Structure 1
Amino acid sequence: MRRADGAPESRGGAEPPDRHRGPALRRMGARLQLPLTLLGGALLGVLIMLIYLQLRPPPGQFSLEDVRRIAQEQIASITPSPPVEPAVYAQVRPSVVLITVAGRTADNTSFSGRGSGVVVDENGAILTSLHVIAGADTVEVRFFDGTTRSARVVARQPERDLALLQVDGLPQAVEPATLGGSVSPGDPVLAIGAPFGLEGSVTKGVVSGLGRRFTVAATGQTLENMIQFDAAVNPGNSGGPLVDRQGHVVGIVAGIANPTNQNVFIGLGFAVPIEAAAGLQAPIH
């Protein structure tokens, strides 16, 4: 219908429809679709987590017995192995002897002395330090079971301060020691002997050095290629064995060094390497 002026008449005053409105709404819906999808996924994840937490069994409760068991397991895992020293001592002690000597000096003055030794074979051979029996008229050996025997000197090695004794028959309980080999600085060692006459004494330490020079106080003799160790030894230990962790004799204790000239131990002990005694056994076999 047209108005009198010829212009088209508007129906109900309504605007004519916009032909571009439909595509614009579709574009807006497409832009909102991705955020809504992400939000829905997040909400679904939260829901799944809440369900899992509700259904998961509660953590186990430790009883006092559980705590005690765990503590015992931890203590057992850090507990060190039993020390080997007692076993080594028990192995070597039956072969270690106390040596008592007596004699007279050049001016007819009587003297006596004590030292240690170690049985080295089943025939009654005993290795000791030469200065222990030097000048003696009588040599008596007392074994770990209290049995005593007279001994005679059958071999000497003055350049190494070593002597080999012989007794007629060993007590049944006596076992010869096992002779070992070389040692290295830091190796643990035991010294077994009779310091001040205290039979069967044992001390432990390490090899402090090799190839040392040592002067024997009793004779003034200088010995070469000695083992230095810090296991405590004192007068009476001379001639006794220096032993490794396997119970093998690696040296024969010769004496101590003390710059104060007192005959007491200050951490410097010296022993003749056992390899030096190999030739001394020849007369016995």
Structure 2
Amino acid sequence: MRVPCLPLVMLLLTASCVSAPATPEIVPSAATGIERALQSSVSLVVDDGGRADGFGSAIVLNEQGYLVTAHHVVDGAMGITVLMAGGRAAVARVVAEDPVGDIAILQTTFVPEAMVPATAASGCAVGDEVISVGNPFGTSRLGGSPSVARGIVSASSRSFVSEKTGRVYLDCIQHDAPTNPGNSGGGIFNARGQLLGMNVLINTPQDTASESGVAFALPASSLLYAAQRLLAGE
């Protein structure tokens, strides 16, 4: 008598329905995110014709040596020097600017392979980690890479008028990463090293230049959109 094969068929069907183990999402380590943020960041030394140099930071836009920074960092500059990781330095010039929006586009004469254009994050939420990269108090002159600080997103969609300049800032990201003079124009990034925004303003205690844990950044989406329009001559 022929033995029925149904149990075997059922076993095979059951086995075929077992789901394969889900592939875990690969999340970059903190060190990897910081490395990516540093690759998209440079420091600025600004000669404004005065007795002391000014300092700032900038974000890498593309492989052609274009950078974006805050307009107030380079306003009236007689000369701009870009400081890069590894002690390299290059001259830069302003090629487009939007004083009202506090955005300026620079182009540098030297583009090392290690410089990587910033990639915008899809967004952020209150409590997300922030990696702030910049040149506080001109410390990049001492050698090495721009300085890194960490914090969280404190709030979003902050809009206000600067008491000092009268500029109107819309939909800014508020964060608490240590931010000091020289950080302006530098990027804030998420844990993956993706750009969240550009530092433009700090709320300092009265009669002091120290940081207060209240900093504001233009969001990456509007920043990069404005930068592309400036590059296109619009």
Which TM class, normalised by the smaller chain length? 0.7 to 0.9
How many Å separate the matches in 2 of 1:214 and 1:263?
Answer: 20
Q: 1:217 to 1:236 in 2, by over 3 A?
A: farther
TM-score, normalized by length of structure 1? Answer: 0.64
Q: Secondary structure of 2:221's partner?
A: helix
Kindly report which structure 2 residues correspond to 1:121-136, keeping only aligned pairs within 5 A, or say none: 121-136=62-77
Structure 2 residue runs of 5 or longer lacking an equivalent are 1-26, 141-145
Aligned residues: 200
Checking the alignment, whether the CA contact within 8 Å between 1:249 and 1:274 is kept in structure 2 is: yes
Deviation sequence 1:57-110 (CA, Å, 0-9, x none): xxxxxxxxxxxxxxxxxxxxxxxxx99322211122122111111123xxxx55
How many Å separate the matches in 2 of 1:148 and 1:269?
Answer: 28
Aligned to 1:210: 156
Checking the alignment, whether the CA contact within 8 Å between 1:131 and 1:219 is kept in structure 2 is: no
- Residue type of the alignment partner of 1:246: R
How many Å separate the matches in 2 of 1:235 and 1:182?
Answer: 26
Aligned to 1:89: 34
Q: Establish whether residue 240 from structure 1 lines up as the match of residue 186 from structure 2.
A: yes
Larger-Rg structure: 1
How many Å separate the matches in 2 of 1:166 and 1:209?
Answer: 32
Aligned to 1:148: 89
How many Å separate the matches in 2 of 1:237 and 1:181?
Answer: 23
Aligned to 1:226: 172
How many Å separate the matches in 2 of 1:118 and 1:261?
Answer: 30
- Residue type of the alignment partner of 1:84: S
Q: 1:217 to 1:135 in 2, by over 3 A?
A: farther
Deviation sequence 1:231-254 (CA, Å, 0-9, x none): 111111111100012211110011
Give the drift of 1:122.
0.5
Aligned to 1:192: 133
Q: Establish whether residue 266 from structure 1 lines up as the match of residue 212 from structure 2.
A: yes
Structure 1 residue runs of 5 or longer lacking an equivalent are 1-81
Aligned pair partner of 2:198 in 252, 270, 276: 252
Q: Establish whether residue 157 from structure 1 lines up as the match of residue 98 from structure 2.
A: yes
How many Å separate the matches in 2 of 1:272 and 1:283?
Answer: 16
Q: Establish whether residue 100 from structure 1 lines up as the match of residue 50 from structure 2.
A: no
Q: Secondary structure of 1:178's partner?
A: coil
- Residue type of the alignment partner of 2:126: P
Checking the alignment, whether the CA contact within 8 Å between 2:32 and 2:192 is kept in structure 1 is: no
Q: Which has the higher helix share?
A: 1
Aligned to 2:6: none
Q: Percent identity?
A: 34
Q: Establish whether residue 279 from structure 1 lines up as the match of residue 220 from structure 2.
A: no
Q: Secondary structure of 2:100's partner?
A: helix
- Residue type of the alignment partner of 1:204: R
Give the drift of 1:175.
2.0
- Residue type of the alignment partner of 1:94: Q
Q: 1:101 to 1:216 in 2, by over 3 A?
A: farther
Checking the alignment, whether the CA contact within 8 Å between 2:101 and 2:168 is kept in structure 1 is: no
Q: 1:162 to 1:131 in 2, by over 3 A?
A: same
